[in-house]
């Protein structure tokens, strides 16, 4: 989440190509990551799950969530492995307002930005906002590296295999299949106790 978008909020959900559900449904996608436990939580997995739960309090309704995945740090380092997932959401927030809201939630979980690719308690990346294509100082849409990252594409293809990359025109499933098999290994993780299971959510 590093640049600026200049488009208004998405309108009512419709079944146009490229939306998060492929046929109809939420059209805003957010990637989640954590490899440090925030204060008061036992693990990065609990931190990530609590971060998702927090979104309903700030005007973001989670409609679908992937399973949690474990992934190696990118680029490779001696950091702990990451917990990753993708959610499809509905919100009245325009892209830049949504970005600011996500940054505020991250900060609430102790996220501190120091050097690039540093370990973090919570990462909430705006991946796609209703097919917006925009390059600005604070936000690039769609996310400029989502098509290169298995830890994004694996959970994205799980909940929205027919979602199409607004610029490349390929589906999430196609982008995932195009990655070299040995690149960025990931494996599924169990849902933490006390938090909703993956699948369809109705906030």
Catalytic residue numbers, as ranges: 111, 120, 123, 125
CA nearest neighbour of 170 among 142, 140, 135, 129: 142
Residue with tokens 């959510």: 201
Distances (CA, A) of 169 to 50, 100, 133, 147: 33, 28, 12, 11
**Token reading at 84:** 């990753």
Distances (CA, A) of 104 to 50, 51, 63, 122, 141: 14, 11, 21, 11, 19
């Amino acid at each position: 989440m590093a640049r600026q978008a200049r488009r208004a909020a998405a309108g009512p959900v419709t079944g146009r190509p490229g939306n998060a559900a492929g046929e109809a449904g939420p059209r805003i996608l957010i990637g989640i990551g954590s490899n440090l436990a925030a204060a008061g939580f036992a693990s990065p997995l609990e931190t990530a799950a609590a971060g998702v739960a927090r979104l309903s309090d700030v005007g973001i309704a989670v409609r679908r969530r992937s399973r949690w995945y474990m992934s190696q740090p990118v680029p490779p380092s001696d950091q702990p492995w990451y917990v990753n997932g993708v959610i499809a959401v509905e919100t009245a927030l325009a892209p830049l307002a949504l970005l600011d809201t996500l940054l505020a939630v991250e900060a609430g979980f102790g996220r501190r930005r120091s050097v690039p690719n540093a370990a973090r308690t919570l990462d909430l990346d705006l991946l796609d906002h209703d097919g917006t294509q925009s390059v600005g100082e604070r936000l690039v849409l769609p996310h400029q590296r989502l098509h290169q990252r298995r830890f994004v594409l694996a959970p994205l293809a799980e909940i929205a295999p027919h979602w199409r990359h607004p610029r490349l025109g390929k589906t999430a499933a196609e982008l995932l299949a195009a990655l070299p098999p040995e690149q960025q290994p990931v494996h599924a993780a169990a849902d933490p106790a006390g938090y909703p299971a993956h699948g369809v959510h109705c906030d």
